[in-house]
Amino acid sequence: MPRQSPSVPRRARNDLRQYDDLAHTWWDPYGPFCSLHWLARSRAKLVPAAPPEGGRLLDVGCGGGLLAPHVHGYEHVGVDLSDAGLAVAADHGIEAVKADAADLPFDDASFDVVVAGEILEHVTDLDATVAEALRVLRPGGTFVCDTINDTLLARIVLVTLGERIHGGPPPACHDPALFVDPERLQRLCAAGGVALEVHGIRPQPLRFAAFALGRRTTVEMVRTRSLATVYQGVGVKSGARL
């Protein structure tokens, strides 16, 4: 059953213009990005409390700014390539900057926290994207990410099935060729000074069923032992605080 409105153009897999096409739906809890709301809330739990004097948080691939309601006390800067997404993020209090995640326009060590939520599986230069995220993170700062593993199960659950069910990703959102092996991600993070701890996450099944029946607007994400589909990572950058 097609999930996409006929007014939305058909795009190739991972064509980033999809984020402009769908920008009006970012904050719809039942819209095509609904699962990103659940993930943003879960991701925010890995972000340390802001220091009393405040801090700077970079949200790489911020999209429509869904992380904004869940993090407090930070100057929240978001980068993205989607103009329409950045406009929505700015409306939700994010300092929106148009930039490629692989070439960030920020000084070294200029953020206390760098978050990369559901973007790493969309970039064509993963090495540069991770290197840039960790370059701008200060020593002692925290890197938080979530992404999709490069497994057959992830392809089945998130592409073959997921794109056909309400609560899954929008059609053609992902190119499975870009899915991210966690060991590769950990190696890239280690090269940038971050020992990344990873754990799997999935929607809580009963809550997901209630969402699918229209009885809930959100679904809690819970941890799993398996990294085979969606996983989160968190780590602190080595070195003394500058």
Answer yes or no whether residue 168 interacts with ligand SAM by CB under 6 A. Answer: no
Nearest CA-CA partner of 13 in 145, 170, 185: 170
Shortest distance in whole angstroms from residue 122 CB to ligand SAM:
4
Q: Which stretch binds ligand SAM (CB under 6 A): 81-89, 158-166, 181-189, 206-214?
A: 81-89
- Asked if residue 111 lies in contact with residue 56, where contact means CB atoms within 8 angstroms, the answer is yes
| Angle formed by the axes of helices 126-135 and 182-191, nearest 10° | 40
Shortest distance in whole angstroms from residue 53 CB to ligand SAM:
26
Of these, 22, 36, 133, 134, which contacts ligand SAM (CB under 6 A)? 36
Answer yes or no whether residue 81 interacts with ligand SAM by CB under 6 A. Answer: yes
Residue count, binding to ligand SAM (CB under 6 A): 22
Question: How far is Cα 97 from Cα 68, in angstroms, rounded to an integer?
Answer: 15
Total residues belonging to the chain: 242
Q: What share of the chain is helix, strand, coil (3-state, %, to 5)?
A: 30, 25, 45
Of these, 34, 62, 114, 130, which contacts ligand SAM (CB under 6 A)? 62
- Helix (H, G, I), strand (E, B), or coil: what is residue 79? strand
Answer yes or no whether residue 34 interacts with ligand SAM by CB under 6 A. Answer: no
Of these, 22, 58, 120, 123, which contacts ligand SAM (CB under 6 A)? 123
What are the strands, taking DSSP E only, across the chain?
Answer: 55-60, 74-80, 95-98, 111-117, 137-148, 197-203, 221-224, 230-236
Answer yes or no whether residue 85 interacts with ligand SAM by CB under 6 A. Answer: yes
Binding site for ligand SAM (CB under 6 A): 16, 19, 36, 39-40, 61-63, 66, 79-82, 85, 100-102, 117-119, 122-123
